[in-house]
Each structure stands twice: as structure tokens, then as C-alpha cells.
Amino acid sequence: MAIDEYGFDTRLRVLCVDDEPAVLEGLELSLRQHYEVDTATNGEQALQLMRTGDYAVLLSDMRMPGIDGAALLATARKHFPDTVRVLLTGYADVTSAASAINDGHIFRFLIKPCPPPTVQRAIADAASQYRLQTVERSLLERTLRGAVQALTDVLSLTDPDAFARATQVQKLALAMAVKLDLQPTWALELAAMLAPLGRVSLPPELLQRQAAGDDMRRESDREALDRVPEVTQRLLASIPRLEPVCDILREAGHGGISRNAFAHRSAIPVARLAKVLRLASRFVDQQARGDSVTVALAELRSQHGDAELIDAIEAIKGAQSLAVELRTVPVRQLCAGMVLCDDLLTQTGQRLVPRGYEINASLVERIRNMRADALRGPVRVMLSADANHA
């Protein structure tokens, strides 16, 4: 199997659905030279196949027992939006086909009997559309993730406390979304890491006082902290396609750009993901104050009452406690992916990064550039039991 630079099979997969075996046999014969072709005789079987693999094109007959073509294509649009959908129908079904086109966002509409060359051209066009949207999404995701990585690397060096908290929130929120089958998760991941981005505008002395436990009674300090969401908004406004991220931040109470029109068009469950982010943030904050998992969960239940989300946190935290190991390592052996269980201190006692911080490549490089005796060590770290760290 050949894989191209964007991560998908160059010999694309096509699923043909029809309750007439002879029709399926003809379709497979026409298409198998250029595609991996699977067939199904009904909608239920087709959906089962789609759950087990990625299909570039779905070609479905209109009239079938059980789930008909219109329902199948509408369901495919909802659960497998990347698959390009083609409808094959008879003259008598043109009226109902119009409904299928509207509900299932059909790419092409073919009328039986359909000559093999016509089918081949339609599938080739659908495959081209699949490649186009897949490549566009891949480039977009890589561009976004690269931009976000650069921004969060800056945050990790300028405000390690905020970065450590954001990393903890992101991990918990993502685990909750996966457990609750909330898809897609990319906007939630980015929202968790970008929420504190505006803190890069805060003066170093303010960050130091806050890290030391200052209660921020100065009016100027409070005003600067209150402006953080506004600064975050301005920074994110220059990055295209981040509307879902901004919507999640706004719904979760972190500020951000209001793009209601986009939220209505997006398939991303903004409100639900925002609630996941909000609860994950509050749980992390409660643990940072010293609350145990039990106390933190009890407080969440008493204040917020979303049993499904809180049950997810409880299940995740129970599983995580069994899936990590503690290790004491010299400072020079710290690796990306390790999580500090102690503050990382200079020899003079100044905190470089706080406990709970997940080591990244930027910090490893920073340590490498410091004198060998500049930091106190060794330090305790936590890592996944199945991780492979040197």
C-alpha cells in the first residue's frame, strides 16, 4: 500500500451499495482497476464497513430495504463527513433523490442505467474532490499546529506556570472528550493551550509576584490580568480558521472572538466542548490548591451538576493513577514528555518552572544552554508506565 505525503492511501477506497448483486458486480468490475472496492447489499452493512475503514467515495443506490439511500447518505454525511457521496437512482426516484441531495449533500447524482464510463468519470471526480479536501485539511492542520506550537513554546518560556496549567487542562479535557466520543477534538486541544496566551503581555515582575502567591490587590495588576482575554483575542484574530477555537474559549468564559455565524455552520459541538474545557480547568485549579481528587470531584458535583462530565473525570483520574511511574533523574537527563513532581529550582532557590510542568523540547534546550551546576537536582518526574525515556 502506497502512502502519500499527506498520510492517506494513494489507491483510494470506494464503497458501493446496492441490493442487486449483479449491479455490485458490474460496479466492482468497472472500478477495481483504479480503486480498492468494497460492496454492501444494504445500508446497515454499509455503515458497519464505514466504521472499520476510511472510504474516499460512497456510491449508493436509492431504493434498498431497511436504510434507503437517502438515509444512508445523510448518516454518512454526519458521521463520515470526509467521504464524498454519490447517489445512483432510477428515473422513478428523481423526486425523492432531490431530498437526498439536500439532506446528504450529494456530490454527484447518477441515473440508472448508467454506462461504466459515466460511473468511472463520476468516481474519478469524487476521488479528486476527496483528495482536494483531504490535502487542504492536512495543510490547514499542519499550519495551525505549527503556529500554535510556536505560540505555546513562547508561553512555556515566558510564563511556565501558565503553560504547565494549560498542559494539564488540555490533557484532561482531551481525555474527557475522547471518553465521551465528542468529535472532532482539535479545536478543544488548541483552545486549552491558547487560553492563557494573552499573558505574554504581562510584565515579568507581575508574573513573578503571582507565581509567588501575591493576592494581586494592586488595581494596575488586576486591570492587566483582566485584559488577558482581550489580548488573546487580538493574537488569535490574525490566524485564519480558528473560529471554532475562539467560540469554545468564549463559551467557556475565557474571552475570545464571537463568531456565532460560524458556530451555526460548524459540525463542532462548541457548547459541549466549552463545558468540558470549563470543568477541566476548574478541576486542575482545585488540585493546584491542594484538593485531593475526591474533594475536587465533590466540589464540582455540588457546584456544576453535570454528572456525565464529572463521572468522566473520575474514571480518567482513576485510570491515570495506575498508568504512571515515578522516577528521580538528574536535571541533565530530563526529557520531553516527563512531568515534574518537584519545582525545578536554580542553585539560588529561584523557581525556573513549577511542579506539574510537562517537559518540552524548548525547556530541554534551555537547560542544555545553562551551566551544568546552575540547577538543583536530581528531581522527581512522572511518566507513563509504557513510555520509553532515556
Domain for residue 127, yes or no?
Answer: yes
pLDDT at 171: 92
pLDDT at 385: 53
pLDDT at 35: 93
Q: How far apart are CA 52 and CA 365, in angstroms?
A: 42
Do 167 and 277 have their domain in common? yes
Domain for residue 234, yes or no?
Answer: yes
Domain for residue 3, yes or no?
Answer: no
Across the 390 residues of the chain, what is the mean pLDDT of every consecutive 10-residue run?
A: 45 92 92 93 93 91 86 89 88 62 74 88 92 77 76 83 90 93 87 88 82 74 84 79 85 60 55 92 86 81 83 83 73 89 88 85 90 89 62
Do 275 and 356 have their domain in common? no
pLDDT at 93: 61
Average pLDDT, the chain: 82
Do 349 and 276 have their domain in common? no
CATH number at residue 112: 3.40.50.2300
Domain for residue 128, yes or no?
Answer: yes
Task: Residue 47: give the domain boundaries.
Answer: 13-133
pLDDT at 92: 55
Do 37 and 47 have their domain in common? yes
Q: How many domains does the chain have?
A: 3
Q: How far apart are CA 322 and CA 320, in angstroms?
A: 5
Q: How far apart are CA 67 and CA 62, in angstroms?
A: 10
Do 295 and 327 have their domain in common? no
Residue that terminates a domain, selected from 322, 349, 374: 322
pLDDT at 173: 94
- Location of C-alpha cell 525515556: 389
List the grid coordinates of 254. 475565557
259 neighbors 236 (Cβ within 8 angstroms): no
Residue that terminates a domain, selected from 287, 322, 357: 322
Domain for residue 268, yes or no?
Answer: yes
Domain for residue 196, yes or no?
Answer: yes
Do 39 and 86 have their domain in common? yes
Domain for residue 107, yes or no?
Answer: yes
Using one digit for the tens of pLDDT, what is the confidence trace for 104-142? Answer: 578 888 888 888 999 999 999 999 999 888 877 777 677
Do 178 and 216 have their domain in common? yes
pLDDT at 44: 93
pLDDT at 260: 43
Do 278 and 307 have their domain in common? yes
CATH number at residue 193: 1.10.3210.10
List the grid coordinates of 375. 540547577
Residue that terminates a domain, selected from 322, 354, 378: 322
Hey, what long-range contacts does 128-137 have (CB within 8 A, 24 or more apart)?
129/84, 130/12, 130/56, 130/57, 130/82, 130/83, 130/84, 131/12, 131/56, 133/82, 134/6, 134/8, 134/82, 135/6, 137/82
pLDDT at 26: 92
Do 84 and 163 have their domain in common? no
Do 226 and 267 have their domain in common? yes
pLDDT at 48: 93
Do you find a cis peptide bond into 196, omega within 30 degrees of 0? no
Domain for residue 205, yes or no?
Answer: yes
pLDDT at 267: 60
Do 300 and 368 have their domain in common? no
17 neighbors 60 (Cβ within 8 angstroms): yes
What length is written for the chain? 390
For residue 180, how many other CB atoms are within 10 A of its CB? 16
Using one digit for the tens of pLDDT, what is the confidence trace for 335-357? Answer: 988 888 888 999 988 888 888 78
Do 91 and 40 have their domain in common? yes
